[in-house]
Amino acid sequence: MLLERKKVCYNKSGDMMKKVIGVGLVIFCLIGTYFLIKPKNEKMPDMETDNSVNNNQASNEIDRKLNSLTLEEKIGQMLIVAYSSTFMDDNLKNVLTTNKPGGFILFKDNITNYEKTVKFIEEIKATSDIPMFISIDQEGGKVQRITKLSDADVSIIPPMLDIGQKKDTTLAYDIGSLIAQELQAFGINMNFAPVIDVVENSSNIIGNRSFGNDPTLVSDLGISLANGLIDNGVIPVFKHFPGHGSTIADSHYDLPVITKTKEELINYDLIPFKTAIEKGAKIIMIGHLAVPSITNDQTPASLSKVLITDLLKKEMGYEGIVVTDALNMGALTKNYSEKEIYEMAINAGVDLLLMPKSSTSAITFIKQSISEGKITEKQIDESVKKILTLKEEYLKDISLNKEAIGSLEHKKIIERVY
């Protein structure tokens, strides 16, 4: 060993050569390893390319469908209509086939028993080549349209405040799943819930429809319930932006006014909406609420570009669909003409018009506003593309399971609230 060490010490040039060879071998091995691994890694870019191709194909299909529609049909896609009947009569059939609305909303007077309601919904859907939003207000508590059937025992959903007092996100998710499964049993695919207004006091018009007065709790439970809905095939609609929690007036009759500053709203009422946006909310409902501290006037949020485009979309980063609260409510009809309502709502950034006075007059007035240069067809196209994209993603054929209605499993979920 000592002799060998001496030889190494005296042969510096040989030592240097060995180092060079050693480094060369390391580089060779690294290059060889790279080429051995490279074919496996190349699959990732290929997969990404495939996804990009699929997304482009889907987008191209949506564009093709959009371009195939007449202006009247595009406007029709922006309408969700209501009709007081339990069956498809000639008048309703004519309205649906002529005006081709994008959706229909059900109320208690549309619902008698299970079989008849399912038939009614199927006949509504059959009038359109484009899948329709079949919507309802099934919040729970005092706002649920399906409470009694002559041939099925429907689950009665507790008020959201009762769920809020449990502070249990799993329970909220299960309630959302329960609601969705029972709605899907009828073929309903959209629910105007959850309410994510943060209620400050018991005199507020929203009352026990809200999860409570803690913005973080309302956010957590609202998102959980919404996830329960969407995971079971029903699109949730978050409402009522920018927050009904401090108002006393009922927008069905008068215009509620929010007296808070923008900063106060951001730090309280808007927290659940911001969270919903961050979690990927697909649809947000705009309330008929005046916020003079932001708009400098009494314009309802549902007709305000400042609140919808500037605040909700630009500042808060929302890219989904905006739907109005019902357009037949006194907060609007007492102060604006029918044409003004449609024109202002679309210019404000609204995509879906809920319950216009008449789908026929809505199409006529909106076309007139376009011809007058007060609305552009580009605005219509942008809204309809979002609507068609959401329908393509979420409106799938479903099997109707009557056994889900009032099931023992659902009863057990409700028992956990009390």
Task: List the catalytic residues.
Answer: 252, 325
Sorted by sequence, the CB contacts under 8 Å of residue 274 that are 6+ apart come out as: 316
Give me the amino acid identity at 57. Answer: Q
Adjacent-strand bridge partners of 315: none
E strands along 100-171, which residues? 103-106, 133-136, 138-140, 143-144
Cα separations in angstroms, 263 against 19, 106, 278: 68, 37, 19
CB 209 within 8 A of CB 142: yes
The pair of three-digit structure tokens given for residue 184, joined into one six-digit string: 């899907």
Adjacent-strand bridge partners of 144: 138
- The rounded distance, in Å, linking the Cα atoms of 268 and 186 is 37
- The rounded distance, in Å, linking the Cα atoms of 250 and 107 is 19
CB 289 within 8 A of CB 242: yes
Angle at 97 between CA 93 and CA 98, to 5 degrees: 115
- The rounded distance, in Å, linking the Cα atoms of 176 and 76 is 30
The pair of three-digit structure tokens given for residue 324, joined into one six-digit string: 């109005």
CB 196 within 8 A of CB 245: no
Adjacent-strand bridge partners of 105: 135
Closest by CA position to 401, among listed 186, 197, 213, 84: 186
Adjacent-strand bridge partners of 290: 257, 300
The pair of three-digit structure tokens given for residue 101, joined into one six-digit string: 């609305």
Label the pairing between strands 238-241 and 103-106. unpaired
Alpha carbons within 13 A on the beta-carbon side of 80: 27
